[in-house]
Structure 1
Amino acid sequence: MSDFRDAAFGAGHDHIFLGAAHEQNERRTWAVIALCSAMMLIEIVGGSMFGSLALVADGLHMSTHAGAMLIAALAYTYARKHATDSRFVFGTGKLGDLAGFTSAIVLAMIAVLIGYEAVARFLSPVPIHFGEAIPIAVVGLLVNLASMWLLSGDHHGHSHGHGHGDPAHEDEVQKIFAPSGVFAVSIFEDGVPPVFRITPATANSRLDSSAVSVRTVRPDGTQQVFAFADRGGYLESKEDIPEPHAFRAIVRMVDGEHEVVFEEHEHGHDAHDAATRDHNIRSAYIHVMADAAVSVLAIIGLVLARTFGWLWMDPLAGIIGALVIANWSYGLVRDTGAILLDMSPDRRMAENVRHAIEDGGDRVVDLHVWRVGPGHMSAVVSVATTESQRDSRFYHAVLERFKGLSHVTVEVQPSHAAA
């Protein structure tokens, strides 16, 4: 008979899966809205008083800017106020991703409109009032820079190319040159307690977990021995490495002992990876950054057009800006869409959960890991075991070590009942 229980760690007990900086980001977004709204009023009123149609037009543009920020701000406020609403089965942590997805669609529409207008001006050039256009573009740039400063914090702007293939940070890897091959000894601690990993660095290198161990010798003379398990392609220590990570490590292999030295340092984890990134503040940041990029391109195009008479520079700058915005919009749609569809943002988390359970001799029958909010992962695990005394509480204790795993559901079934 299956033993099915649900439990979670930390905030997950109340199904509150908001990002760590949720309220701070909420305040930042409302501050940007206040700035844009004030600028909008100044430009519209000033343009009306002094008869500047360009100033009024830029004020109306600033209103769309504030409207886009409003999507993010309302999402933060709604998610916070309804965080404990039981109707949201897994909390309101994904509301920011939904707002980010919506903002990405708005950005894509803006890119299309800018591109359309630029092409139209290529085909039918219009006179440019440089005396008004350039100062307005400069003011717009200053407002966007101020907005970027207000929104700056623990999030990515538009970068998506963060590699996760390296099993450890570069300065935590030591090389061993042995008769049986070359091996990389590293400390791995991405989302889990730190462990040793030993990986073949050359094609002919051979590893045997039963013949490998590591003995650490700390400055105070304390020693500890670590046994290893084969993970398929590399060996990983069965025991966690206590802090600090400053010690000599004597690696025993089939052909003798080899010594490497690890020094304590700031680990510098990427706090903005796919599992922890707040896509709502990111979408707001990308919006003002896109506007700033357009302002810069507009200033360059206008200055060149006025100086050299190159009127085509203005629409060309518009086309370049449209392409840049479209690229950022695509990245935001891709990342937020994946979360809304429950694609796992951290495959290593699933791998580590599986290894943590199967190291005890059990078998993972089914496993699902997905993101329920910035910095919060949820897991549903079905375990087949021959140990009758192991219930769901046992596996919750095993998985409690994983950072960011905020909600866990475990089903335990006798091994003979496994599919």
Structure 2
Amino acid sequence: MTDSDTLPGHSHVFLGEGHAANQKRTWAVIALCAVMMIGEIVGGLLFGSIALVADGLHMSTHAGALLLAALAYSFASRHATDRRFTFGTGKLGDLAGFSSAIVLAMIALLIGYEAVSRLFAPVPIQFYEAIPIACFGLIVNIASVWLLSGSHDHHHGHRHNHRHGHDDHHAHDEEHRLTCGSGTMALSIFEDGVPPRFRVRIEGTNEPRQMTVETVRSDGTRQLFQIADKGAYLESIEDIPEPHAFEALVRYSDSTGQQQSRATFAEHGHAEQGTHRDNNMRAAVIHVMADAAVSVLVIVGLLLARTFGWLWMDPLAGIVGACVIASWSYGLLCDTGAILLDMVPDTATERGIRQTIETDGDRLQDLHLWRLGPGHLGAIVVVATREPRGPAFYREQLSRFRSLSHVTVEVQQLQSIR
């Protein structure tokens, strides 16, 4: 027997929380770049500066890349409720980010090729014209970064390993400060890249000699955890099973005798960095940061070349800049490509779903987890159970995972063994 369920008529709008604000910021930076581009080209033609014209044309490619991000925001908003998009338009930003990463990679190759060519065949440099232009370009890039800085998701293109770091921990991961003799102790659940365990930090001179933590769940289930000294902190020997919703009784002995404190932990689901990251805004920021990084390297190279006559410093700065851009492009390609291919975006949530379903003896037959948009995950869950439970029961269990925006539950009823 198979039973399945989804929420009828629920929204398929899976855009990030800062979608509209990020769209406005991107258009503002485009306007700034367009003004500079026109000013440089017109000024270069009026004053006969080919370097100024060249930098203006370079700025046009910069504005074009940002235009791709802005159009992606606009299209995603306009078609967010279009039924032709089965899972909404939340992934459009990732598609734009992937495209921008390819453009960045091409720019890195072109800069690298030109720099290597000039390394073996140096060309005359007009220092007193090139340096002010590079400085002016850096100022514009700094202004662009400032305009985009209202977004909470600018990581400068560095790739993050989602298995070893979290951006948003559980809501219960804040420290619970408890009285401990003449001082205090900070009790928390630590699970950054390791199985979840209690961690205790002591503040004060009257440190506990022995300690245990006992969890009491809403159904009355109790579990005792032994605490071991790890030097800088105390940590439970046993792992904490999901869900992390319980009352924790901390018992310890010190010079004043036996003591007991308690803290309440509430489970609100997992949320990793990759779940909430806006890769469209990230791509826009990388373009600006890449241009700023190249400007800094060019200024340094030109100053050293003019001061010491090291003409090779200018192409060397170009090679370094190309490597930096290529590195950022690679990270963006990997992260956006993984999303477009529906790879599991959040291993912590995947593990949490499995532990939540299988806590009461049910078996998770199949699980598909993918990203629908910034801060939104979709899941298809197939559960085998011997209990008379329907999809609504498991939907309620999974409701604590705040990032799960679209959930399909299928229940396979197994025959009970008497």
TM-score with structure 2 setting the length = 0.80
Call closer, same or farther: CA 1:61–1:357 in 2, change over 3 Å.
Answer: same
Equivalent position to 1:77, from 58, 74, 77: 74
> Is the 2:301–2:317 contact (alpha carbons within 8 Å) kept by the matching residues of 1?
yes
Partners of 1:28 and 1:3 in 2: CA distance: 46
Corresponding letter in the other structure for 2:284 = A
| AA aligned opposite 1:122 | L
- Report if aligned partners of 1:172, 1:262 keep a CA contact under 8 Å in 2: no
2:7 match: secondary structure? strand
C-alpha displacement of 1:166: 7.2
| 1:227 pairs with 2:222 | yes
- Extract unaligned runs of 5+ from structure 2: 178-185, 200-211, 226-236, 253-257
- Partner of residue 372, structure 1: 372
Q: Match for residue 399 of structure 1? A: 398
1:154 corresponds in structure 2 to: 152
Whole-Å Cα distance in 2 between the matches of residues 258 and 228 of structure 1? 19
Cα 1:160–1:225 change in 2 (3 A) is: farther
d(CA) in 2 for partners of 1:58, 1:154: 30
Alignment of 1:96-115 (within 5 A): 96-115=93-112
The 1:394/1:229 distance shift into structure 2, 3 A limit, reads: farther
Deviations 1:3-35 (A, max 9, x none): 111128xxx921111001000001111111100
- Change in 2 beyond 3 A, CA 1:288/1:345: same
Stretch moving more, 326-335 or 355-364? 355-364
Contact 2:251 2:260 in 1 (8 A): yes
Deviations 1:69-117 (A, max 9, x none): 0111111100010000111111111100010000000000000000000
SS of residue matched to 1:367: strand
- Number of residue pairs matched by the alignment: 372
Secondary structure (helix, strand or coil) at the match of 1:364 reads strand
SS in 2 for 1:91: coil
Counterpart residue identity of residue 222, structure 2: A
Check 1:259–1:163 CA distance in 2 against 1; reply closer, same or farther (3 A cut).
Answer: farther
1:127 counterpart letter in structure 2:
P
**Aligned-partner residue type, residue 75 of structure 1:** A
- In structure 2, what is the equivalent of residue 58 of structure 1? 55
The answer for the alignment partner of 1:213 in structure 2 is 214
Give, as a single letter, the amino acid of the residue that structure 1 aligns with 2:23.
E
Residues 1:187 and 1:5: Cα distance change in structure 2 (over 3 Å)? same
Q: Is the alpha carbon distance of 1:229 and 1:78 closer, same or farther for their aligned partners in structure 2, counting shifts above 3 Å?
A: farther
Amino acid at match of 1:131: Y
Q: Secondary structure at the match of 1:408?
A: strand
Provide the C-alpha distance between the structure 2 equivalents of 1:100 and 1:120, rounded to a whole number of angstroms: 30
Match of 1:18 among 15, 20, 29: 15
Q: CA, structure 1 residues 26+310, in 2 after alignment: closer, same or farther (shift >3 Å)?
A: same
Asked whether the 8 Å contact 1:68–1:103 carries over to 2, the reply is yes
| 1-structure distance, mates of 2:385, 2:263 | 38
Pick the aligned partner of 2:245 from 223, 228, 240: 240
CA contact (8 A) 1:54 1:133 kept: yes
Q: Could you tell me how far apart the structure 2 residues matched to 1:173 and 1:115 are? A: 53
1:398 Cα offset (Å): 1.2
Contact persistence 1:215–1:226 (CA under 8 A): yes
What is the root-mean-square deviation in Å for CA atoms of aligned residues? 3.6
